[in-house]
Structure 1
Amino acid sequence: MHQDHHRHQETSTKTTWARLVVVSVLVIFSYGISREAAYQWLSVQHHNEVQNKLLDYIGEVRRALRRFYHLPYLLTNHPDTLAIVKGEQHDPAAFQAKLTQLDKAANTEGWTLLSTSGDVLASSLIDERFSRPDRLAIVEQVLHQGEGVSLVNKTKGYGPLYYLSAPVFEGLNIAAIVVVQIDLSFLTEQPITSQDIILLQNRQQRFFLSSSSEYNADWLNAAQLNATQTPEHDKTQTVNRETRYLYDSTAISQWRLNATSFLGHTVELDDLKWSVSYLTPYKPIKGAASLFAWGVAAALLVVILLLIIGQQRRQKHRHQQRIQSLLQESQRRLKQMIDKTQVGLLLIDQQGALFDLNPMAKRLFGLPENNHHRIFAWELFDTGNPHATTLTLLKNLDKHNELAELNAIETMARRSDGSVFPALFSLTRFPWHDEQYYLATLIDISKRKKAEQSLQQMNQALTERVEERTQALQQAQAQLIETSKMAALGRMSSAITHELNQPLTGLRTLLTTNTLLAERGETEKVKANNQLVQKLIDRMTNMTSQLKTFAYSKPQHLHPVSLADALNETLRVYQAQLADIDVRVRMPHDTPLIEGEGQRLLQILGNLVSNACDAMANTAAPTLVFVVTPTERTVELTVSDNGCGASTDVLETMFEPFVTSKKIGDGLGLGLAITANNVRDINGQISVAPNAQNGLTFTLTFQSVIPGH
């Protein structure tokens, strides 16, 4: 027993140490994760704040500088200025006093009139800071651009100066330059946070202005110069910039001035070629992130400790609480199910009296909440049919207790006010507390009955409407078929009449002429007329043969046919008509056989060739192209010409019989209709569409013969 106790203590100690290790790891891990997350989030927020502050500052700078832009132009057309430029007589002292007065009124640092060689013609203030190189730089830019320019200069130990210049024209040439000198120190007087720093750089990326007294422009230029020197150079002043990416891919610029880190954002002013940087210290961000991380770690530690304490307490009373909780939960759920169910529940004793009802049953029967009267179950149902199964069973429960089982029987229930309603009634045995009871369920089906009646009425009405519409559609279809037949007969009779009237008229004329010639004895002319009669008869025979072909029935059996042989034979037959046409055939050597009938395939190809020849009768360079493309189960043939083409309306009716664009006497319009019928008879498909050569392309698809089938 002592060994077991010792073993239990050892196991408990190991468990405790394991928990301590896990807790320590979780706390350290949560500290690192929360610190990094807080750092990232705060960096994003500060980055957005810095952007907004920088944009606000740039707006203030532009508004501050805008009031100086027009100053040089005050003297460009002044009479005294033009007199000095032209070398005319003037009063130098008066002009000098005017420049001084303008300097004081505009709050500037000096006004200067320069020659095109950089010499000073007049000035309100000349000192060593406006050096000749600066003057020459301004003159060079003005002469090069032909307009006013600006230049910023920073001399070590002095504040930055901003020069605005404007040319003075003599005719079309620049004769002199007006320069206004402005001290830019006022730009750092904009309201910013005491710890933030505003930096301005010129187009050469040299700092000329800083809002920090510690990291002023001279210090930054020296530090920037140190960063480009050899390792042996003094590195006590350093400026480093690097770009970092946050979790949301936001790029932030990190500045390091000596050992101090800043979050910076830089914007380049395109018009001034200045770079404006806004720096805010990183230390508050890191401090806030660390503080937040320590808070999260401490909260996690407290939560873990509370969980451990709670777990230890729960272990002492777990078994008893679990049983009690399960009993209470079971009772609560059972009561909720009984109270909330939408089905009426009745508990009936062996004598058929109601022992208990759920709230839904009381609502269905209209019974009061507190009912102290003894009610028998059969009293709640319609007694109008005394032989009903439900009523009979409930009245004799004591006699039929072994057979008291009903499932979803439709019956009529009675409310306390005497009204009845249809319901589904079920009954089953329900042993409870060692006694025999019966559990009855009741579902009100009034809405379902109403819905069934409505649905039955709707179905009947819908059936009647469908029958009416069906009769109307059948009548319309019959009328449409009759109309189509009459239209087809009309087109056919019209075409046949036009085609046969001309030969018949010729026959009548020739026979009359032969009678006269026979009376005169001119037998040679009679023979010649008989030959003409024979030609007209042959022509009429050809016309009627098309009608016979159009009436051919579908073949009973299809057999393999060579498309290549059929196409070669067709081209030989129509060799004379194709003599002046450029015929091109592209067909693979291994083209499979197709399902069809030889004579019908020849007629299909012949009709397409004949139709193409007629379409290209007036084409300068007629071309007929046959392209055969085999696929896995089909063989596709395209027949393309560059003839006269057809309109969209004609394409829609091109395969209908007795539809033709030819003149009367040139055909019945059955060629393409016969072709379409023949293609369908051999289980193929045909379509037509315009092509890029302004002609038509007929596409035919045949079923290929698969070897072994």
Structure 2
Amino acid sequence: MKKHHVLRSVLILLLLIATLVTFYIARRLIINNYEQESSQLLGVYQSGLLTTVEKFEYFPAILTFDPRFNLLLKNNQIDQDISSLLEKYNLSAGSDEIFIMNAEGITLASSNYQDATSFVGRSYAFRPYFADAMRGKTGFYYAVGVTTGKAGLFISAPIWGNGNEILGVAVVKVDLTPLQQSWIASRDNVWLSGPNDIIFLSSDPGVIYRSLVPISDTIARELSITKQYGNGPVTSLSVQPAAARTPGQVTLEDHEYLLFSQPVKRLPWDIHRLVSLQDINNLAVVAAVVAFGTLLLAVFIALYYREILRKRQAELALLKLTEESEAHQRSIIENTNAGLMTLNERLEITEVNPKAIELFGMDQEHLHDILPLNPERLLQPWFSQITEESLEARGSRNDGTDFPLLYSLSMIKTGPAREYLLSVHDVSELKAAEAELVKANEELEARVEQRSEELRVMQEALMQERKLSAMGRMSAAIAHELNQPLTALSSYVATGRLYLAEGKPEKSEETFDKMEGLVHRIARISSQLKTFAAIRRLTLQEVSLEAAMRYAMEVMEHRIRDLQVDTEVVINKPVTVIADQNMLEQVLVNLLDNALDAVKDVDSPKIVLNAMSVVDKAWVKVRDNGSGMNQDQMDHLFDPFYTTKTGGKGLGLGLAISYSLLQDMQGTISVSSTEGEGSEFTLILPLKKNVSEESGEGSSMTVSE
């Protein structure tokens, strides 16, 4: 009796051990089954996601070819007409928003310009997608809108100028909410996480913007700056990382789940599927119980029928689970916005979803009569290769029409009986928008060419008129300037002869001195004319503005001291320009000399020289508190032989020569003046370039007026 009791105890112990081993083996097999199923389902989910993204992936780059956006960025002004155009594009493409930013990140045009949450005038320079585009790359960035509070995928592309300069950024915002709704409809628990393992799209709203890993202080600060997920903090989930042959594990509301993950192709995202650990354990328990019952059947033949019944029940449970899994797959395929077709190992179409039937105009009632079907009958060209990139083709409908599409082929089942998934998306709207852009570009180019030709003809006529006018003024001025001293000289010759005839040598000597002065005046006129019209040798080099200004002050120091003029030189920091040093010093001396003439009759004369740098130019201002000038005087101030000085002082060539010298040095000169308050002359010269842009210490050129 005792021996029988021990044997029974050992048998029960062996049954328990066998049951426990069966439980863990069954649990491992069920997890493996879920892993394979999740891999297939995640591939389907990923295909739908990539189809949505690829629909708009190249849209920002296409927008950059519109010259109207280049003109918008060059003007750097907010333009409602461009915003209205973007609104039309947005409605046609089905995107969430489209907007254009300048190089500083300020939005100049947006499709939502009429909304209370308009992007126009707002800066998004802190967004990574702006930085990516300004580096010449395409930006992909999912974030919560700081203005609208609505999340979306931001796809950006740089807008290039005529050279290698990036004028701004075109951005298309894509709403992924419909994709999330399809996940909810499939009754599956799906997550999509981005950089830093933060969940941003999910069939369970409770886990959105929560992290799969603890958030470091550095990442928290970065999220606070970029506001990628709004202003709220990002909290971490309780996640046990995946190990070798073991998926990750998540705890949500005291329930544990296995986390099956898969990286999204070409995007820095991961897609996840959750499976209840309790359901897996229940199935494993069922399997263990079946094993335990089978062992008991061998030991206790009397329980045979009962064990058969329990085994049948377990099989039915597994069958129901398989059917539910297949129903999940069918629900996903039928509800997705892309055309999906299943292909067998011979790459023949065996199943199609409703969207594919709609795209190709198939007769659903007679669909089974044409399946299996060769894909070449539906799209051309057809390449039977698995690729991560979407391929372009033309789709053929039953009514004989065709349409542009993108398709991709991926494997969803391995083994002897392989299966493939063919994803198809209609891009007719995108192609139509592209054609509209090309047509608008061609029309704009034609108008610009016509207008340019008209302007060229008008400019040539105006230039000819100006040349004739300038030649007439110059001829009259030269004749006037030379006739005065020549007339006086003729008079003095006659007077000198008379004095000699009368024997008055003192009077004759005085007359000869006056004649010599007139000869010097004519020589000075000739010299200045030669300077004005001469061929000059121009040497452009780095010149210190402070040194040039100090030189001009030293040259005019004697007059400054005699007139007791208060002078001031203002330079906040060293400014170096590219100019001809001698010519620049000549211009500054001439301006300072004119300023001294202007303030000689003022009670408290003052002259201020100010130098500063503005972007890539240097500005030099010479300001006096003299008598000033009226508008008519300023209009003719730079004309040859025009002078505001009285008593025959000045020939009116100094400012004309200064104007010509500055043009030779790629500079400009302008004047502003108020009668009774003084005048201010402004010189603008190119600043010294960066070291990487310089090709040498200086360059020489010959300039002819």
Same fold (TM over 0.5): no
- How does the TM-score come out when normalised to structure 2? 0.41
Structure having greater relative contact order (Cα 8 Å, sep ≥ 6): 2
User: Which structure: larger Rg?
Assistant: 1
